[in-house]
Structure 1
Amino acid sequence: MFILTRNKLRKILISHGGITLTQQLARSTMPLYDNSEYQYMQISKVPTLHFQASLPRLPIPKLEDTCKRYLNAQKPLLNDKELQYTSSCISKFLANEGQSLQKQLIHNNDENPHTSYISKPWFDLYLRDRKPLPINYNPFLVFLPESDPKYDVQLVKATNLVVSSLRFFQSLKNNILEPEVFHMNPGKSDTELFRNVTRLIPPRFSWYGAYLFKAFPLDMSQYKNLFNTTRIPKLEKDVIFQDSSAKHLVVLRKGHFYAFDVLDANDSIRSPREIAACLKAVLEDDRPPNKHPVGVLTTSERDQWAQARSHLIETGNQEILKKIDSALFVMILDDEVIGTEKSKLLRSYLHADGTNRWFDKSFTLIVTKDSYSGINFEHSWGDGVAILRYFQDIKADVSKKPRFHPNEVDELAKESVNIERLQFSIDAKSESIINQQKAKYQDWINRLYVDHVIYEEFGKNQCKKLGVSPDAVMQLAFQLALYTLEDRVVPTYESCSTAAYKHGRTETIRPCTLETKEICIAMTRKQTKFSKTDIKRMILECSKVHNVLTKEAVMGQGFDRHLFALRNMSEKSGSTKPIIFQDPAYDALNYNILSTSTLSSPVVLAGGFGPVVSDGYGIAYMIQDERLGVVVTSYEGSRNANKYIQTLEHAFKSIHDVLST
């Protein structure tokens, strides 16, 4: 999910007439809104999609390499007899069906040079899954609060988030948003020289120019789905819908829907005061909570939601649904006060009670009564790189140059307001479906544990001083906590981006290794013969192994997506299932008890997602300079996130103690 995150906020320098934005403007309550400085967040010298045509294609690994890596991932999980059987299955696959499937995969890939071999089957995987979106798929991120509390008032914060989102949208739409580039050495490549040189190189060769600077442009094909986009439920397979002509925003409050244009007839962003006046009118609507909150239906199993939606259309709600589906995005204004309850905050952004949510939208901005703010996003259209870029850029924009100010609130009465109330027509059947789903969803979320830990004793800086990978330390801690509780290791998933390639999505790092297992045994059994010095040496070696696995995944040389594509091709051909996929060990490996993903950014207060299996843990983590943070979810009756968090904190202390030896 959250991968290849940048280590610091990128500097946003928007040149306009040769003067940077930060030099050009100071805060003002009387700006002009028809100029490019207001309309665009960035005016990049290098076009947004300049590198897209020359991005390298996602490689298809050699079949022999994939089989070897797959067997290595199974070794810590299987006993000798199971491992011997799995090894024989791999050998047979490698000698027989695997060769023909590999040739077919390569042929299909050659026939489709515009995309990657994983793109279509990965989209299908998401869109065909019938599980509900919240918890199962939709992650969340919460913004760090503003330094000035006056800008964290709900109306002020919501207005500035909307304006900055529109500024990002305008830059993206007009191809002047800075291209997403991973800089190996930002001091040498994140420079004006880099931009001046690469913009002059024709797009079909531009990637190679960036490579000479040791900078790697990332795929931006997903960005177009950030705005005006929603996932529409259909029987068997959902569809991603987009209407790029829409100019409006949809706002939810108390389960009621509102719509108003945020772009004018010329596709220019309306003034902050106009937008604020519309949001203020929504906040002042004194209607009680909606008795029939249609938004809760987006928490349903997808076929059930498809059927309920069809009935809504039959009963005269097609235009309202189209209004929601086509909106630039959805802004959710919650009346709930979070206060200092971290658990309440996490739950509010992960799932809430569903009555004031619309989980199908590409993303929803959520602002609470006491002005916590963040996003919940649908995952089928894209991955963490795109959403985190948007998240970081608008946070920087809101913090450095808010466009609406607290002292302007009293002047909003002068602004004209044109808001459309979207009133669904609800018959007895729809009312019954809504009531049933409210109760069903409440039962579901009541079974969910959500807990967190922030470990202040060490972070990225100290890990680096000790010569160990911070990510390897985190993953080892996850293994150690589980082993301490259950005296065993389990299948573990760590998400990694392949956005360095055209239409890349994600690859899996398998952090449960023989090396992590050996350390877990050494650190949990009192009769162990290993000293702290021995274990420290083992951790350093484990870190090296983890770094190799990470590098392979980033370079498209993991085994999970390759085997997934081969299995997908085999299933479509209707032939007998290859023996490697009949092996129970294959399904077991893909039943990820520990599902992990990182979201390391200085502007993220919290983030997370649900377990991917009913008896698993969903583990979202961040690695900051001087601390480590983790949010864990699980379901009652299987595993307990609260106990896991307590054990995880002890694992951090134990590892830190060993590394400090």
Structure 2
Amino acid sequence: MAEAHQAVAFQFTVSPDGIDLQMSHEALRQIYLSGLHSWKKKFIRFKNGVLTGVYPGSPTGLMLVVGLYMGRAKYVHADPSLGLFDRVGAHLPVSRYMSFNTQQLVGGLLVGTGLWVVIIFTMRNALRWLLSWHGWMYARHGTMSWKTRIWLVLVRIFSGMRNPQLNSFQTSLPHLPLPSVKDTIRRYLESDRPLMDDEQYARMEGLAKDFERGLGPKLQWYLKLKSWWSTNYVSDWWEEYIYLRGRGPIMVNSNYYAMDFLYVFPTSLQAARAGNAIHAIMLYRRMLDRAQIKPLFALGDRVPLCSAQWERLFNTSRLPGLERAQCERMFNTSRIPGIDTDTIQHMRDSRHIAVYHRGRYFKVPMFYDGRVLSARAIEQQMERILSDTSEPQPGEENLAALTAGDRVPWAEAREAYLRQGRNKQSLDAVEKAAFFVTLDDTEQRYAADNPVRSLDSYAKSLLHGKCNDRWFDKSFNLIVFKNGTMGLNAEHSWADAPIIGHLWEHVLSMDPVKLGYTEDGHCKGDTHPSLPGPQRLQWNIPTECQAAIASSLLVAKALADDVDCHTIPFDCFGKGLIKKCRISPDAFIQIALQLAHFRDKGRFCLTYEASMTRLFREGRTETVRSCTLETCAFVRCMMEDNPRELRLKLLKVAAEKHQQLYRLAMTGKGIDRHLFCLYVVSKYLGVESPFLKEVLSEPWRLSTSQTPLQQVELFDLVNHPEYVSSGGGFGPVADDGYGVSYIILGENLINFHISSKHSSPETDSHRFGNNIQQAMLDLLALFQLEAKHGMKTSTSMGLRFKM
């Protein structure tokens, strides 16, 4: 690739006549514009910080209250300070240096400001108290009690009347409540009962009761102190011990993926698709930086959800050159490997992205003339990279395999070989980039003539690729394939899937419609005539480091080759028909998964369903244990020759039980995060609990998660059902288990993403997929409603849907 000219502020030459300085006006202009952009960004952050800090109050409210009191002083001739100056004057000579009118004005200012602060704190605490009530969750769907109506009116009043910003409600959200040990033990034993015989259950019950009477209260006391002192008693420990302290590969085991449109292919030009997607992502970052993203709500637009995973205060003081700051962790963020634990590195700002193509790394600036590059200019940069014919430097092609293997070898190699010289500069360019982009040299896409194989290959590529072509430590990787299809791979420690899903919905909604393409598939707009090209990163990777890279690549490839992915676009029926059954769609699907799993393995298993706890400040997730006594009773009834009426009755009982567990999890009454934190306290105290040790070692052989569609207004699924994401998935949690992600799209489509391991003789993702499809139809048949499509049998592929 022809390297761009190096813009420098000045050049100088030494001659017999002296030193000749040559100033580069273009370079100085770019420095000026860069500084101007930085100061604008600081001002916007300061302004938004003020607005968020005083919410639900506002500067306008301050002016009204202060103006009222100062006007009272001037026109009514009353003392607005309520005798303040007389009291202060008795001890300090304040009144001697002020005229009577000045005293009144200053008194009005002080009292008005004080009253305004009192009003803010009153409204904020009242709103926090109101949001601690969750009775609205227990109302029957489609109904609303008078108590809930009154509560909603009060929430609206104390929320303020102006448009809130993303973080406006943070200080008004309640803290996550701490359940009692007794309630947690009771619900745990209830969840374990269907998985144990009488002897096993009696043993576990004995361990639980001993814990409840003995060590439990002591651990709970320490945990109660933490819940009083910290904003959220779970989230910091969850991030550290579940994610950052894991020493195994994060590829497959932790990172997850998101897919492109299923049936729509906006352009086949790789550079153009990358141009629109990268530009849309940069616009999202600007919206996030300016707090222009609307906060998310439950119950319509009435109950705010926590936004801490987008932007929150966290400590980066262990990392040189970084600071403790309010940060958008979605961008400019990398997970940094360590020997004992990883850390999260975040830059306040990053003006470039890192791009990988055919074993080479490039640094691509995203700003020119103080503005973010247009989609067409970004396409121009991607075209330059694609046309580059240079070869990778020794060790460069497989360098990213370090991020795919075990964490300790990666930490050792990083410190020993990549933290000095030009390696450090290149590594910083990658780790401090806004995000990472892979221009993949393979083609992935849904193919109508072979939907199963094409989607399975697509999912595997997004989940792990070739193990050396994604920087798995970055907050997220944008992957753009050779034929224009794209997707994401996201690191999990900094946030949960709904956060990256919110970004992805924005990108997909902008790409084909708002940004669009020309008739020949290019991004709209003109190329930039004087845009400096991408910078090829330079590496000097020694032989010892190359050996570490090769070792990590072997580990990663073995893990990747073992993953069995299967993606199913289930279009026989969807949410619309399930709602006619008067059953929660999520409960319907979870019960179908239990039936499918029993048919697949002939037994029940401990089941994990992720539920959000973002009704509380800094909330992340809680576990819904979906395998219940009620669900097992229904499954056994389905496996025997029983009348439809009995099956239907047991199904409704199981669905109501599932909804009850989901409500408990969302409202801070789940059991697994509480047990986890009790276990962490026991480790800090150096005491062993046989009960907690056994609970925390139980394998989740069926791990499930629903991917919510959060910005429904961005997609017209009635008129354009094709413009919808395929959702995303993750790897299996247990070696002999399944991982299942599903997304409910519109009224007629549910996409399932299934994963397992080839090495386990007990699992087969395609077999399990067939069982899921059949279970969904069997449940619907109980309501005597017909699906849109029928099923057909194929000797080679088993049960498949008609597309």
TM over 0.5: yes
Q: Tell me what 1:117 maps to.
A: 233
Instruction: Establish whether residue 374 from structure 1 lines up as the match of residue 487 from structure 2.
Output: yes
Superposed displacement of residue 611, structure 1? 0.6
Q: Is the 8 A contact 1:621 1:628 kept in 2?
A: yes
CA distance in structure 1 between the aligned counterparts of 2:287 and 2:696, rounded to whole angstroms: 44
Q: Tell me what 1:580 maps to.
A: 691
* Deviation readout 1:141-192 (Å, 9 max, x if unpaired): 0121695x5545322221111111111111211222222223x13xxx4xxx
Q: Tell me what 2:330 maps to.
A: 226
Q: Tell me what 1:565 maps to.
A: 677
* Deviation readout 1:549-574 (Å, 9 max, x if unpaired): 11111111100001110111111111
Instruction: Establish whether residue 54 from structure 1 lines up as the match of residue 160 from structure 2.
Output: no
Q: Tell me what 2:527 maps to.
A: 412
Correspondence 1:422-571 to 2 at 5 A: 422-525=537-640, 528=641, 530-571=642-683
CA distance in structure 2 between the aligned counterparts of 1:435 and 1:355, rounded to whole angstroms: 10
Q: Tell me what 1:646 maps to.
A: 770
TM-score (normalizing by structure 1): 0.84
Superposed displacement of residue 46, structure 1? 2.6
Q: Tell me what 2:101 maps to.
A: none
Greater Rg by CA: 2
Q: Tell me what 1:195 maps to.
A: none
Equivalent residue letter for 1:614: D
Correspondence 1:79-90 to 2 at 5 A: 79-90=197-208
Instruction: Establish whether residue 241 from structure 1 lines up as the match of residue 362 from structure 2.
Output: no
Q: 1:246 to 1:314 in 2, by over 3 A?
A: closer
CA distance in structure 1 between the aligned counterparts of 2:523 and 2:178, rounded to whole angstroms: 56
CA distance in structure 1 between the aligned counterparts of 2:179 and 2:584, rounded to whole angstroms: 26
Q: Is the 8 A contact 1:498 1:506 kept in 2?
A: yes
Q: Tell me what 2:387 maps to.
A: 284
Equivalent residue letter for 1:302: R
CA distance in structure 1 between the aligned counterparts of 2:752 and 2:523, rounded to whole angstroms: 39
Equivalent residue letter for 2:329: N
After TM superposition, the structure 1 stretch with the greater mean CA deviation from structure 2, 390-399 or 120-129, is 390-399
Superposed displacement of residue 647, structure 1? 2.1
Equivalent residue letter for 1:629: N
CA distance in structure 2 between the aligned counterparts of 1:349 and 1:93, rounded to whole angstroms: 44
CA distance in structure 2 between the aligned counterparts of 1:253 and 1:644, rounded to whole angstroms: 36
Instruction: Establish whether residue 617 from structure 1 lines up as the match of residue 744 from structure 2.
Output: no
CA distance in structure 2 between the aligned counterparts of 1:404 and 1:328, rounded to whole angstroms: 25
Equivalent residue letter for 1:646: N
Q: Is the 8 A contact 1:76 1:513 kept in 2?
A: yes
Superposed displacement of residue 424, structure 1? 1.7
Superposed displacement of residue 600, structure 1? 3.8
Identity score, percent: 28
Q: 1:426 to 1:110 in 2, by over 3 A?
A: same
Q: 1:289 to 1:372 in 2, by over 3 A?
A: farther
Correspondence 1:127-138 to 2 at 5 A: 127-138=244-255
Q: Is the 8 A contact 1:255 1:357 kept in 2?
A: no
Q: Is the 8 A contact 1:272 1:404 kept in 2?
A: no
Given candidates 216, 228, 243, the residue that maps to 2:304 is: 216
Q: 1:84 to 1:408 in 2, by over 3 A?
A: closer
Q: Is the 8 A contact 2:508 2:725 kept in 1?
A: no
Given candidates 296, 302, 312, the residue that maps to 2:417 is: 312
Equivalent residue letter for 2:303: A
Correspondence 1:1-80 to 2 at 5 A: 45-80=163-198
Q: 1:245 to 1:606 in 2, by over 3 A?
A: closer
Number of residue pairs aligned between Structure 1 and Structure 2: 584
Q: Tell me what 2:288 maps to.
A: 172
CA distance in structure 1 between the aligned counterparts of 2:525 and 2:306, rounded to whole angstroms: 44
Q: Tell me what 1:208 maps to.
A: none
Matched position secondary structure for 1:401: helix
* Deviation readout 1:507-536 (Å, 9 max, x if unpaired): 0000001111112212223xx4x2122101
After TM superposition, the structure 1 stretch with the greater mean CA deviation from structure 2, 621-630 or 363-372, is 621-630
CA distance in structure 2 between the aligned counterparts of 1:272 and 1:222, rounded to whole angstroms: 24
CA distance in structure 1 between the aligned counterparts of 2:345 and 2:544, rounded to whole angstroms: 26
Correspondence 1:264-413 to 2 at 5 A: 264=368, 266=370, 268-288=371-391, 292=395, 293=397, 294-313=399-418, 316=421, 317-339=423-445, 340=447, 341-402=454-515, 405=518, 406=521, 412=527
* Deviation readout 1:223-253 (Å, 9 max, x if unpaired): 4210000001110100000112321111111
Matched position secondary structure for 1:381: coil
CA distance in structure 2 between the aligned counterparts of 1:653 and 1:410, rounded to whole angstroms: 49
Equivalent residue letter for 1:169: R
Q: Is the 8 A contact 2:726 2:751 kept in 1?
A: no
Q: Is the 8 A contact 1:222 1:381 kept in 2?
A: no
Matched position secondary structure for 1:76: helix
Q: Is the 8 A contact 2:701 2:738 kept in 1?
A: yes
Given candidates 258, 264, 282, the residue that maps to 1:141 is: 258
Matched position secondary structure for 1:245: coil
CA distance in structure 2 between the aligned counterparts of 1:154 and 1:345, rounded to whole angstroms: 16
Equivalent residue letter for 2:415: S
CA distance in structure 2 between the aligned counterparts of 1:564 and 1:287, rounded to whole angstroms: 51
Q: Tell me what 2:209 maps to.
A: 91
Superposed displacement of residue 539, structure 1? 0.6
Q: 1:474 to 1:376 in 2, by over 3 A?
A: same
CA distance in structure 1 between the aligned counterparts of 2:631 and 2:436, rounded to whole angstroms: 43
Superposed displacement of residue 408, structure 1? 5.7
Equivalent residue letter for 1:475: Q
Q: Tell me what 1:636 maps to.
A: 758
Q: Is the 8 A contact 2:379 2:523 kept in 1?
A: no
Q: Tell me what 2:364 maps to.
A: 260
CA distance in structure 1 between the aligned counterparts of 2:339 and 2:756, rounded to whole angstroms: 29
Superposed displacement of residue 105, structure 1? 0.9
Superposed displacement of residue 409, structure 1? 7.5
Superposed displacement of residue 394, structure 1? 2.4
CA distance in structure 2 between the aligned counterparts of 1:628 and 1:408, rounded to whole angstroms: 31
CA distance in structure 1 between the aligned counterparts of 2:469 and 2:553, rounded to whole angstroms: 11
CA distance in structure 2 between the aligned counterparts of 1:658 and 1:574, rounded to whole angstroms: 53
* Deviation readout 1:110-147 (Å, 9 max, x if unpaired): 122xx200011111121001110111000100121695
CA distance in structure 1 between the aligned counterparts of 2:522 and 2:601, rounded to whole angstroms: 57
Matched position secondary structure for 1:226: coil
CA distance in structure 1 between the aligned counterparts of 2:417 and 2:240, rounded to whole angstroms: 26
Q: Is the 8 A contact 2:254 2:491 kept in 1?
A: yes
Superposed displacement of residue 404, structure 1? 6.6
Superposed displacement of residue 415, structure 1? 4.4
Q: Tell me what 1:199 maps to.
A: none
* Deviation readout 1:436-483 (Å, 9 max, x if unpaired): 333332232222211122332221111111111211121112211221
Q: Is the 8 A contact 1:365 1:373 kept in 2?
A: yes
Equivalent residue letter for 1:421: R
Q: Tell me what 1:209 maps to.
A: none
Equivalent residue letter for 2:692: F
Equivalent residue letter for 2:247: R
* Deviation readout 1:198-235 (Å, 9 max, x if unpaired): xxxxxxxxxxxxxxxx3323333444210000001110
Superposed displacement of residue 656, structure 1? 2.1
Q: Is the 8 A contact 2:676 2:696 kept in 1?
A: no
Higher relative contact order (CA 8 A, sep 6+): 1
